[in-house]
Each structure stands twice: as C-alpha cells, then as structure tokens.
C-alpha cells in the first residue's frame, strides 16, 4: 500500500470513493473571483476549512488572518470547521490563535466535537482502541478508551481513528485480520484522505478508513466533512434567521469541503492555490467530479 501521495493521486482516490460520499444538492456557477472581498456583501456567515485555506502544514497563509479580521469587522459570523480530531477544539483554537487568527471560543468546530455525542450511543461498557499519537489524552471522550496497539487489539470492542502519525501499513494489516474474524464498529474522526503540508501531503485517517472498507467490507462511521454531521454543528450555531445560501463554506477540497457544504444547502467557495488541488487543472477536476462550487478563488 506504500505509495507517493501527490495531488493527482489524492484526486484519483477521492474519485474512487465518490459513490460513498453525499450528493451535492445542486451545481454552482463556478464564478471566478480574486478574493472574498469581491463577495463580502453576499454572505452573512463564512465557514473556513483549515489546511489549504488558512495554513499549509504549520505555516499560515499570507493575508488570511487579515481577511478574517476584515470580515469580522464587517459584522460577519465566522467559523473554523476542521476535520482535525486529534485534540479538543479548544486546543485547535489556541493553535490557530498562535498563528495570528483571532478565533473566539465557540468559533472553532472540529470533527472530534461531532464524534463525541455519537460515542454515548454505544454505552459505557465498550472498550475502545484509539489510533492516535502515544501522548494523546482522551479525557473529553465519554467512553473507556485506550491507545490501540498490537498487544491489546484482541481486547477492544471498537476502533476509533483520530490521528495516524504513528500508524503504519503493517498495523493496518493486523487490524484488517482482526476485523475479518470478528465484527467491531470503526469510527473515523477525520474523513480526509490526505492533508497538504509545505512540500508534500500526509495521509489522514480517511485514507485508512476507506482502505478498511475496501478490504474487509466493514463500513466505518465517518465524522466531519463532507458528512452532514459536521454541517449540522454549524447550523446549530447560526445567528438569528440566517438562510443557508448566505452561509459560505470556504475550502480547498472538492470532495470534502465543497461537496459537504453544498449537500448541506450552503454556498461554497473553492480555494485552489494552497491545498489538495494545487498544481492540477482545476476546471478538469470539477468536470470529472461533477462537484461545482459557487465560487473559485486562488486564496481568501
């Protein structure tokens, strides 16, 4: 399964799993704009993806913090909606504040926030094996959770993928063998296949979640974009009588940010200069996928 992750590979893989994803409610006009200042008055709420929109790896994107500051000054409601599941949302908020983004409590929403209520549905007797870095804390998870390793895999009742920086193809093979012999629920806290870094792409939990689906037939439960559970969390926090089409989802990935936002009834803007589609023919990707955003811009 070892392969070099590139923009072209990521797009091809997203296309292979397209039938597993929500369907967009409509097709957008694919209007090209210079930046969000061109359409500020058309929307009341701006929902930003993180990687590829606000930062690449650990590096903030030039001008993005200022853009958000200007939108806030214009009275817009702002959210960061991230598929990052490895840490609580307050940790993510502080991380982005340290990069220069002035997010307030309650403005940062993560797929971990989406997953937590679902864990309660499984009851308190479940023993969950969690795939995450060894120093990850699980205090906020309403369940009995332990780091998953080869020695304890037979002792867990379910699997949670949060972050796969210490996961490997060899460990994945052992998990596949275990799932082939007994059924367990598998929860994917980050549906992304890849994440853009400064000079490469990293695998994300969705990469392994869909690999499990392919090779075992076990259908994981995904939390985060493009699934409706993430956008329901945004909808719950909208001010007043904001209409869905005046909510703009801003992201770099057609198959998560854009597809999910439009399936939820929101408007969507595709950022092309920094993320998963960088270096690709964007028009060709839109045509091939059938996922057509309302707006296309190089950076926010």
- Tell me the two tokens of residue 294: 């309302």
Show Cβ contacts of residue 268 under 8 Å, excluding neighbours closer than 6 positions.
28, 248, 249, 250, 251, 257, 258, 261, 262, 293, 294, 295
Identify the H or E element spanning 296: strand 295-297
Taking residues 181-210, report their average pLDDT.
92
- Tell me the two tokens of residue 70: 């200007």
Domain ranges of the chain: 22-111+225-297, 113-222
Q: Please say if the pLDDT value at position 196 is more than 90.
A: no
Is residue 156 within 8 Å of 129, Cβ to Cβ? yes
Tens digit of pLDDT for each residue in 62-113?
999 999 999 999 999 999 999 999 999 999 999 999 999 999 999 999 999 9
The full 3-state SS of 244-291, as one line of letters, equals HHHEEEEECCHHHHHHHHHHCCCEEEEECCCCCCCCCCHHHHHHHHCC
Measured distance CA(181)–CA(154) in Å, rounded: 11
Tens digit of pLDDT for each residue in 141-174?
999 999 998 888 999 999 999 999 999 999 999 9
Sorting pLDDT into bands at 50, 70 and 90, what band is 225? very high
Same topology for domains 22-111+225-297 and 113-222, yes or no? yes
> Token pair 């089409």 is at which residue?
245
Taking residues 266-286, report their average pLDDT.
94
Mean pLDDT of the chain: 94
CA-based nearest residue to 119, from 111, 283, 137, 173: 111
Tens digit of pLDDT for each residue in 33-57?
999 999 999 999 999 999 999 998 8
CA-based nearest residue to 22, from 203, 268, 237: 268
Pick the CATH number of 22-111+225-297 from 2.60.120.10, 3.40.190.10, 3.40.50.11400, 3.40.50.1000: 3.40.50.1000
On the 0-12 / 13-18 / 19+ scale of CB atoms within 10 A, 79 is buried
Sorting pLDDT into bands at 50, 70 and 90, what band is 2? low
- This prediction has a pTM of 0.94
Is residue 183 within 8 Å of 165, Cβ to Cβ? no
Determine the pLDDT at residue 119.
93
Q: What percent of the chain has pLDDT over 90?
A: 85
CATH of region 113-222:
3.40.50.1000
């Amino acid at each position: 399964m070892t392969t070099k992750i590139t923009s072209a590979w990521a797009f091809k893989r997203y296309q292979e799993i397209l039938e597993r994803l929500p369907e967009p409610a409509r097709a957008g006009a694919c209007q090209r704009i210079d930046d969000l200042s061109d359409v500020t008055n058309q929307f009341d709420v701006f929902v930003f993806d993180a990687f590829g929109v606000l930062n690449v790896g650990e590096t903030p994107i030039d001008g993005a913090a200022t853009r958000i500051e200007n939108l806030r000054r214009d009275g817009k409601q702002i959210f960061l909606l991230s598929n990052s599941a490895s840490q609580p949302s307050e940790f993510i908020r502080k991380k982005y504040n340290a990069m220069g983004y002035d997010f307030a409590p309650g403005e940062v929403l993560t797929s971990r926030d989406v997953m937590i209520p679902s864990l309660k549905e499984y009851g308190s007797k479940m023993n969950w094996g969690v795939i995450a870095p060894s120093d990850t804390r699980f205090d906020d998870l309403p369940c009995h959770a332990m780091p998953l390793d080869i020695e304890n895999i037979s002792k867990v009742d379910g699997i949670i993928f949060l972050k796969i920086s210490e996961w490997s193809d060899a460990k994945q093979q052992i998990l596949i063998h275990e799932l082939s012999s007994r059924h367990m629920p598998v929860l994917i806290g980050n549906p992304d296949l890849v994440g853009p870094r400064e000079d490469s792409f990293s695998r994300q939990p969705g990469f392994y979640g869909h690999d499990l689906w392919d090779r075992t037939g076990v259908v994981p439960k995904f939390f985060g974009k493009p699934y409706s559970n993430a956008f329901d969390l945004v909808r719950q926090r909208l001010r007043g009588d904001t209409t869905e089409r005046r909510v703009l989802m801003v992201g770099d990935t057609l198959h998560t940010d854009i597809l999910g936002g439009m399936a939820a009834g929101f408007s969507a803007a595709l950022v092309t200069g920094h993320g998963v589609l960088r270096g690709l023919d964007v028009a060709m990707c839109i045509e091939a996928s059938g996922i057509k955003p309302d707006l296309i811009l190089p950076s926010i």
